[in-house]
Amino acid sequence: MSNNNLIKGSLQTIILKLLEENERMYGYEITQRVKELTAGEIKITEGALYPALHKLEAEGLLSTDIQQVDNRVRKYYSLTNDGQKEVTSKMSELQGFVENLQRILTPDLKPGFNI
């Protein structure tokens, strides 16, 4: 939800990174964690999240493990070995992108341009 058309492309990175920090999480938990970490400013929609999780699993980056908790089904996701490698890769990709964005958008800050 929310007015964020910017998440595009970074949802996978968010999922992978949260799973690196938390060992295992289920879908709904991810939406709540993101909402909590951003004071409600970023809301991951279920229509975006679940297909993304299924895709990451199909690519072999995540593994699942279904559990019954209080008569409710929870599908826990964890990183595979490939998934663990992908976190590092995706994180440096995102960091690089944000740095490039800053080079474009903040012409004042140009490290390396000293007289």
Partner DNA sequence: ATCACATACCTAAAATTCTTATGTATATAA
Partner DNA sequence: TTATATACATAAGAATTTTAGGTATGTGAT
Residues that bind DNA (CB under 7 A): 1-2, 4-5, 7-12, 26-29, 32, 44-48, 50-55, 69-75
What radius of gyration, in Å, describes the C-alpha atoms of the chain? 17
Size of the site for a second copy (CB under 8 A): 30
Tell me the C-alpha distance between 13 and 78, whole Å. Answer: 14
- Is residue 64 at the binding interface for a second copy, with CB under 8 A as the rule? no
In the structure encoding, which two tokens stand for residue 106, read together? 């903040």
Spell out, one character per residue from 71 to 90, where the chain touches a second copy: x when CB under 8 A holds, - when not.
--------------------
Q: Which does 53 bind (CB under 5 to 8 A by kind): DNA, a second copy, none?
A: DNA
Counting DSSP H helices and E strands in the chain, the numbers are: 4, 3
Tell me which amino acid residue 4 is: N
Beta partners for 74?
Answer: 67
Out of 17, 24, 74, 75, name the contact with a second copy by CB under 8 A: 17
Evaluate whether 25 touches 18 at the Cβ level (below 8 Å). Answer: yes
- Give residues in contact with a second copy (CB under 8 A): 3-10, 13-14, 17-18, 21, 34, 37-38, 41-42, 91, 93-94, 96-98, 100-101, 103-105, 107
